[in-house]
Structure 1
């Protein structure tokens, strides 16, 4: 999987960037995601996180991670009306799956609040956002989707070695 990582804050330690790339590759293998997939991770501060949260989620506050899942628009790709589109062809034609925006400010706050390492917090935010852009969700709260997503998230983090 190709991962483009950008640190808009300019203050992130290179070990966190390296960990992010490794944990994403691990998570992709764990859920059997095609190696041809591509995604972006952008580390931002709370000001930018607030702007993005307002723009995409209509929520007027910063947040820890924003996941923007990308789904190709099949209507923009033209095939003969009688042509059957082979399963998986759309995935191969457009490998980009989405973007994660991770707030470095929130990561630092939450690592302190939850009493675990900053590495664990960045790993948690990365896997959480990654699962969102791959179709997992935790709404409605208390529902089976939430239980499945959080179970898988913890399973991936534990297998990777980022335990509480």
Structure 2
């Protein structure tokens, strides 16, 4: 398992962010029964930088809390059956790991939303990582049914690791 974490924000979160990220990434992959060693990249940045990325990739000129960039095309969420049919597209040739994708998180939003929702920054960071990991596994929340399924899965992942409100 390769989890690359880059901290690009000037503001420092006063919590063991690397441990939290690794814990939630691993729990998410276990929960989704990913049958492969995987590669995930996480970038912690600020509102200004995430706004630029959001504008460039989603044409939304506003900061957001988290962006997910999945590398796997799924027929159904967490259906990994087809990835071996396209090894050159989905696996890192040097490590043999499944390249799941990238996560970008705003540390400003971690602080703001923890305060807004009345829970810890630890819980907020864990939530954003779990949410994004489900996107990297093919989940979405555009329809109400999808949103409810995704929320239930996020909550179960967080509860299994003790990241509660």
Q: Do these two structures clear the TM 0.5 threshold for a shared fold by scoring above it? A: yes
**Inter-CA distance 87–59: structure 2 relative to 1 (3 Å threshold):** closer
- Contact 1:49/1:63 (8 A) holds in 2: yes
**Inter-CA distance 33–13: structure 2 relative to 1 (3 Å threshold):** farther
In structure 1, the partner of 2:56 is 55
Tell me by how many angstroms 1:68 deviates.
Answer: 0.5
TM (norm. structure 1) is: 0.84
In structure 1, the partner of 2:127 is 124
TM (norm. structure 2) is: 0.84
- Count of aligned pairs between the two proteins: 149
**Inter-CA distance 2–91: structure 2 relative to 1 (3 Å threshold):** farther
1:63-142 superposed matches below 5 A: 63-71=64-72, 87-90=82-85, 92-93=87-88, 94=91, 95-140=98-143
C-alpha distance in 2, partners of 1:139/1:114? 22
| Local SS of the residue matching 2:69 | strand
- Contact 1:36/1:92 (8 A) holds in 2: no
| Local SS of the residue matching 2:16 | helix
In structure 1, the partner of 2:5 is 5
**Inter-CA distance 115–92: structure 2 relative to 1 (3 Å threshold):** same
Structure with max Cα Rg:
1
**Inter-CA distance 88–51: structure 2 relative to 1 (3 Å threshold):** closer
Q: Tell me which of the two structures has the higher relative contact order, counting C-alpha pairs closer than 8 angstroms and 6 or more residues apart.
A: 2
Write the deviation string for residues 20-63 of structure 1: whole angstroms up to 9, x where unpaired.
11111111111111342111000000010100110111101000
Tell me by how many angstroms 1:89 deviates.
Answer: 1.4
**Inter-CA distance 160–92: structure 2 relative to 1 (3 Å threshold):** farther
Specify every segment of 5 or more residues in structure 1 that has no aligned partner in the other structure, as ranges: 73-85
Tell me how large the CA RMSD over aligned residues is: 1.8
